[in-house]
Amino acid sequence: MIVLKVVKTNKDLKAFVKFPFGLYKDSKYWVPPIIREELKTFSKKYNPVFNDAEATLFLAYRNNEIVGRVACIINWLEVKNQALKKMRFGWFDFIDDLEVSQSLFNKIEDIGKQYNLEFAEGPVGFSNLDKVGVMTEGFDSIAPMVTWYNYPYYVKHYEAANYKIEKSYSESRFPFKNVKTEFFFKAQELIKKRYQLKALRFTKTEEVMPYADKMFDLFNESYASLSSFVAITDVQKEYFKKKFISFVNPEYIKFVVDKDDKLIGFAIVMPAFAKALQKMNGKLFPFGFRHILHAKKHSKDVIFYLIGIHPDYQNKGVHAVIFNEYYNTFTEKGIETCFRTPELEDNYAIHQIWKHFDPEVYKRRKTFRKEL
């Protein structure tokens, strides 16, 4: 018999966060989150997303042993402002037992119906900056820190619960040696002159901060047309600045501004922290920071986390300016492999940007949907 328990206490929340550590203890490819940061994600004290969203966390027990978990999420900005009556769910993990997963699916659907929502979709987080999708291909490669990993059996559980594919994402990689300057060097010089643009370079995190709010504003503008996009609020900007910017080498943040110093393009690249996080096994202390700092300084792999161009400048080659800046930085750093985070397979504009680098799709993932 499966018993579902609402997460209410700090002890329950720690059990919720730590459940995957046991589930994936024998996996070479799962990347643990930082436990302290994961706890803050679900804290109304730390995470401002709860100003506009709510989440109910559940643990599934059998014989007093945890066998599954799920976060049932409602983003009220999405429901009210976009009239998208969606029941979100994420952090969805379970043993390979259909009774366990079905009990959790039932709970997701019950909550959705209680709030008169029209459909459930997952796995997703609170917003577009959270992790997304259940892996359907690429189980034999390490997961980047910004994605979820799961066993192959997960997909059959969605199918057994009558969930249908809603969105498809791909993740790709390419060796840095594939990057040839003839694809962007001359173009970026012409583009800078034509539109009176310049690239900003940073060596210190504090140099980035005056532009950080403008970057999130541009993120909202440049991604607004994508399906299920939920804009980042002003309060969330402060949260994400504290959570992410310190992890990023300032030289890996590239901004492009016009003659009036208005931000019209940006990109954020992160060192690959996955192997460092595996060594840390969820703990920053006593030695976890050392692994993070070593990866930040010495990693030869990088992940393109975000790239955004103002709608007025899209399809005008601004990405060539950004690529030229990264080419110079990556050459100095001796970067070997570039990875891309999950991108919607129907986002053809972003795929066109990367086509000259001969990227290899090495993972695919899906979100699944069910009408309520």
pLDDT of residue 126: 92
pLDDT for residue 348 is more than 90: no
Instruction: Assign 245 a pLDDT band (cuts: 50, 70, 90).
Output: confident
**How much is the average pLDDT of 134-142?**
96
Instruction: Assign 158 a pLDDT band (cuts: 50, 70, 90).
Output: very high
Instruction: Assign 190 a pLDDT band (cuts: 50, 70, 90).
Output: very high
Q: Are residues 101 and 183 in the same domain?
A: no
pLDDT of residue 72: 98
37-61 per-position pLDDT tens digit: 999 999 999 999 999 999 999 999 9
Q: Are residues 157 and 203 in the same domain?
A: no
Which pair of tokens denotes residue 358?
């001969």
pLDDT for residue 83 is more than 90: no
Q: Which of 71, 88, 355, 366 is nearest to 230 (CA)?
A: 88
pLDDT for residue 84 is more than 80: yes
Residue 312 lies in a domain: yes
353-366 per-position pLDDT tens digit: 888 899 999 999 99
- Answer for the pair 351, 171: CB distance below 8 angstroms, yes or no: no
Q: Which of 61, 133, 68, 65 is nearest to 95 (CA)?
A: 68
pLDDT for residue 246 is more than 70: yes
Residue 275 lies in a domain: yes
pLDDT of residue 350: 78
Q: Which comes out higher in pLDDT, residue 355 or 14?
A: 14
Q: Are residues 17 and 153 in the same domain?
A: yes
Decide which of 145, 170, 195 is a domain's last residue. 170
- Answer for the pair 367, 132: CB distance below 8 angstroms, yes or no: yes
pTM of the prediction? 0.93
Decide which of 138, 153, 170 is a domain's last residue. 170
pLDDT for residue 292 is more than 80: yes
What CATH number does residue 307 fall under?
Answer: 3.40.630.30
Q: Can you say whether residue 315 is alpha, beta or left, with left for phi > 0 and alpha for psi between -120 and 50 degrees? A: left
d(CA 15, CA 249): 33
Q: Are residues 156 and 183 in the same domain?
A: no
Domain that holds residue 261: 175-363
Q: Are residues 17 and 67 in the same domain?
A: yes
Q: Are residues 84 and 219 in the same domain?
A: no
Domain total in the chain: 2
Q: Which comes out higher in pLDDT, residue 88 or 236?
A: 88
Which pair of tokens denotes residue 127?
């917003």
Sequence-distant (6+) residues with CB within 8 A of 176 are: 330, 335, 336, 337, 338
d(CA 140, CA 151): 10
Q: Are residues 106 and 206 in the same domain?
A: no
d(CA 158, CA 290): 39
> What is the residue-averaged pLDDT of the chain?
93
Sequence-distant (6+) residues with CB within 8 A of 128 are: 223, 226, 228, 229, 230
pLDDT for residue 127 is more than 90: no
Residue 33 lies in a domain: yes
- Answer for the pair 199, 321: CB distance below 8 angstroms, yes or no: yes
pLDDT for residue 315 is more than 90: no
Q: Are residues 212 and 125 in the same domain?
A: no
Residue 368 lies in a domain: no
pLDDT of residue 227: 63
Q: Are residues 218 and 331 in the same domain?
A: yes
Q: Are residues 145 and 194 in the same domain?
A: no
Greatest alpha-carbon span in the chain: 69
Instruction: Assign 253 a pLDDT band (cuts: 50, 70, 90).
Output: very high
Instruction: Assign 228 a pLDDT band (cuts: 50, 70, 90).
Output: low
Q: Which comes out higher in pLDDT, residue 212 or 176?
A: 176
pLDDT of residue 238: 83
pLDDT for residue 166 is more than 70: yes
Strand-pair partners of 173: 339, 360
321-339 per-position pLDDT tens digit: 999 999 999 999 999 999 9
Residue 372 lies in a domain: no
Residue 370 lies in a domain: no
Which pair of tokens denotes residue 67?
């066998």
pLDDT for residue 172 is more than 90: yes
d(CA 178, CA 175): 6
d(CA 27, CA 23): 9
Residue 73 lies in a domain: yes
Q: Are residues 187 and 328 in the same domain?
A: yes
Q: Are residues 154 and 179 in the same domain?
A: no
Decide which of 170, 198, 232 is a domain's last residue. 170
Residue 369 lies in a domain: no
